[in-house]
Amino acid sequence: MVVPQCLAVSALSIALDDLAARRLGVSIATLYGGPFRAHVQAYGASYGSLPGRTLESWIDEAEALAARGFLAMKVRLGVLPVAEECNALEQLRARMPPSLALMGDGNGGFNATTARQMGRCAEELGLLWFEEPLPIEDYVGYPELAAALTIPLAGGELSQTRPATLELLSKGAVDIIQPDPVNCGGIGEVIFTGALARLFGRLCVPHTSGGAIGVAAGLQALACLPDQSLLGLNELQFLEYPALVDPIQRAIAPNLLEPKDGWVDVPTSPGLGIDIDGDAVERLASSRLMVE
């Protein structure tokens, strides 16, 4: 469960990092000691699918993402019965070019049995990881599921404290831990989680909330993560990027970096690397209040 105080702490931490870096004239990645990489591969995070339209919605999204230069896509699972959804996933894999990498996000929609079934389907089809298939309250059942599957199990986007993160890693609940800078306490906490994950031979791939600031913060954090894993999975250090082009997001942050040929350059400009249009924020907030 997300604790509001943690969200406030995260927002304040990101804002202070941005302010400090801007005053020094450096990027946040430089503020934390310098980036390990100049650009990162992005994956388009599916914005969902409707019952009965899983395959069609996936194909629509995949084609739109490919047109924008993405080379990877995360699909939302747990909408249909496992057999139907696995069949749809097989058709998606067959109809899309092999160069398009796929990940699966279970959104807590499976039980212990169906998670194993879908996990094995995802393994056979070559998905890069299987994200949070079981409910995420205390991540009960994750260590057993991780041990039963070959595909890397990912999770941890709502972990908001260091003890919670340590528990996930020490129990072997996930192969890929996904701290979100807007949940876990900011960019510095993501970097800390990456160092902790490395001690356990696990990979840290930051989750992003889809908002402009969350994406920019995730990019700065990812740039600061060194080679993480003893699993040979370092090539999975992707940036999560919203598949949906959100006009509100673009209005608020008009210079949010767009992937080119599937990659996003780490900004070298001061701070987060994006500028927030205060007038747009005020205008949109006023419009929303008027509607409500």
Rounded Cα distance between 77 and 285, Å, is: 33
> What letter represents residue 227's amino acid?
D
% helix, strand, coil for the chain, step of 5: 45, 10, 40
Is 39 a known active-site residue?
no
The residue assigned the tokens 């959100």 is 246
How far is residue 102 CA from its own chain's centroid?
Answer: 13
- Residue 4 neighbours by CB distance under 10 Å: 7
Q: Which of 70, 69, 67 is nearest to 45 (CA)?
A: 70
Rounded Cα distance between 202 and 174, Å, is: 8
Catalytic residue among 207, 219, 228, 274, which? Answer: 207
Rounded Cα distance between 170 and 165, Å, is: 9
What six digits make up the tokens of 215? 């994406």
Rounded to 5 degrees, φ, ψ at 44 are: -80, 120
Active site residues: 207
